Structure 1
């Protein structure tokens, strides 16, 4: 069977099974109880991952079917996995570390648990801005944090920037999740990098003043609150809109179809994006196999599956995005070093606490 047919069948299986409800690094269940390791008798690659998506599991299975290399997966929260890598040191069995935030990837780099990835294929497929400057991690997908709005009560021309959401114009109309969300922490960290601490604090204070309710729930809950009339606009990640529109729950589909997606700051700094990425561990015992898996995850077919199954944006421009994502149009993204998201995380938390963003 051809590689293309394998991926076509895999994509159909993922979508038919409804394997769309994923969770980010904040929603891990800790270290998996079963942690089979590769042996000298079989080709293997051992992955520590904070991405908990069924689409990833299916991709690993396909990689094994194509290469004969078994993928052993340990799932957990990113912070736990980094600490585990530090603790295990040279004795670790992990070959790859995968997570969903550029700042966290940089934390792993600074912790000394990664090493450079050397692959011409990866360098050609993944844009420079989506790779670590020292090649210690590489992006495998991105997501944009946008303004979702009620199609009934808000016209797109009323929207412009993140900063505009903090003005009196949106008093009592803004919905957003808690400051404990890494998504919000990285969003504010990007503002600190681009505009400085004072402006970032003023923005956060303005959002608190304009909240339609105290922060609660996850991103999809903000969309549901828009449709329920609690607020008119929400700050949320694009891929959640895709999950809603393509849900097996008719009520969620109705929610997804009732909200619009607006990419803010197109005339200024660009829309905030974040990256999911993979890093090669410093003490990998299966380095060649690990690089092969990274190359697999960044090729056209795997990238097409990731974007069509989980509605994330691909890092490989050759991937075929779903029609929903195409319908939103092209957008200008922020141009910052993803390391800044980690560098400014502590200050972002201080600002959230100071302005009362619970």
Structure 2
């Protein structure tokens, strides 16, 4: 009787193991904390039958976790929201190179890691512009229509920013360094510090509100924060955006800086095939339109048209000149930029 019971238990275990092995899963480590992305994941599961198990953390936390877990990591796909962090993960060997004609055909070269013989390590799936916001009653648009003017003495005492060490600013500063060289970039950062109305603090939305309240007159923000306010039904948000102007800098030179949200296959992925399918899905027209309409980001995939009134209104019809330098090069400048920030006293 005992032997029979043991045999039944073994059979049940074998069946359960077989069912689990057949279930298609994808372990996702995501720095995208946007509730609108839930539909994105749900649609992927409906289309493929692959169930997503998600771990949420910030960019730095995800990279630290991958290092700590090592070969035992269950992660299959990594989603990060900054070029510098994607670059860091790549340099630290945390991503698995993939070869995908679907991805290579869809995503322009400047929005992905440089391909090697082994494949490409990360792809950018959406962009956000780093734009200037200003007090329309007290600042002339032409006085803030370039990044360089943030450091011009005419804007002394007017500028407010979040921490210089925040990834969004590190990437902007890395881009400027790529454009003008280290010496000029450091002088520019020193000029910005001299022009600050107060010490850096808060997030991008806080900078916009600081301009609206008169705490400062010029700030920098990622575009999707502005789009959220433009789409808001709250009276206070509508009143704020009546006071604040938005300018896409450097339209007459190298173009406005774009940062990216992107993805990679984890180095030790146990479900690499499913991971590649997910990245390819993120490059599809449906997913790309979700980035545009769900979180107010610009798609990176070729040929995808945006139908988001807030994005179009913000950029004067939707067309603006964006910089075209490789974002991998921007990420590579991060260490140099951090050293510059320390030298000029940018907190």
Short-chain TM bin: 0.7 to 0.9
1:346 paired with 2:331, answer no
| CA-to-aligned-CA distance 1:43-101 (integer Å, 9 cap, x gap) | 11111111211122221112112221101111112223223323333332211111011
State which drifts further: 82-91 or 44-53: 82-91
Task: Report if aligned partners of 1:98, 1:279 keep a CA contact under 8 Å in 2.
Answer: yes
Task: Report if aligned partners of 1:245, 1:257 keep a CA contact under 8 Å in 2.
Answer: no
Q: Which runs of 5+ in 2 are unaligned?
A: 1-18
- The equivalent residue for 1:116 is 97
Could you say what secondary structure the match of 1:294 adopts?
helix
1:46 paired with 2:27, answer yes
Q: For 2:201 and 2:65, locate their aligned partners in 1 and report how far apart those are by CA, in whole Å.
A: 31
Task: Report if aligned partners of 1:242, 1:256 keep a CA contact under 8 Å in 2.
Answer: no
Match of 1:87 among 65, 68, 80: 68
Q: For 2:45 and 2:305, locate their aligned partners in 1 and report how far apart those are by CA, in whole Å.
A: 21
Task: Report if aligned partners of 1:303, 1:319 keep a CA contact under 8 Å in 2.
Answer: no
Q: For 2:70 and 2:163, locate their aligned partners in 1 and report how far apart those are by CA, in whole Å.
A: 35
User: CA shift at 1:207, angstroms?
Assistant: 0.9
Distance change in 2, residues 1:55/1:117 (3 Å): farther
Could you say what secondary structure the match of 1:187 adopts?
helix
1:309 paired with 2:298, answer no
Structure-to-structure mapping, 1:1-358, within 5 angstroms: 39-134=20-115, 135-316=120-301, 317-327=303-313, 328=315, 329-358=318-347
State which drifts further: 177-186 or 64-73: 177-186
User: CA shift at 1:39, angstroms?
Assistant: 4.1
| CA-to-aligned-CA distance 1:144-176 (integer Å, 9 cap, x gap) | 111112233334333331112211111111121
Runs of 4+ in 1 over 6 A off after TM superposition: none
Q: For 2:265 and 2:192, locate their aligned partners in 1 and report how far apart those are by CA, in whole Å.
A: 39
Task: Report if aligned partners of 2:251, 2:321 keep a CA contact under 8 Å in 1.
Answer: yes
TM-score, normalised via structure 1 length: 0.84
User: CA shift at 1:208, angstroms?
Assistant: 1.1
- The equivalent residue for 2:16 is none
Q: For 1:320 and 1:141, locate their aligned partners in 2 and report how far apart those are by CA, in whole Å.
A: 12
Larger radius of gyration: 2
| CA-to-aligned-CA distance 1:231-257 (integer Å, 9 cap, x gap) | 222111111101112235321232234
Q: For 2:202 and 2:289, locate their aligned partners in 1 and report how far apart those are by CA, in whole Å.
A: 30
Distance change in 2, residues 1:159/1:179 (3 Å): closer
Task: Report if aligned partners of 2:80, 2:263 keep a CA contact under 8 Å in 1.
Answer: yes
- Provide the aligned length of Structure 1 versus Structure 2: 321
Task: Report if aligned partners of 2:28, 2:76 keep a CA contact under 8 Å in 1.
Answer: yes
- The equivalent residue for 2:9 is none
TM-score, normalised via structure 2 length: 0.87
Q: For 2:200 and 2:218, locate their aligned partners in 1 and report how far apart those are by CA, in whole Å.
A: 13
Query: What is the Cα-based RMSD across aligned positions, in Å?
Result: 1.8
Task: Report if aligned partners of 1:313, 1:321 keep a CA contact under 8 Å in 2.
Answer: no
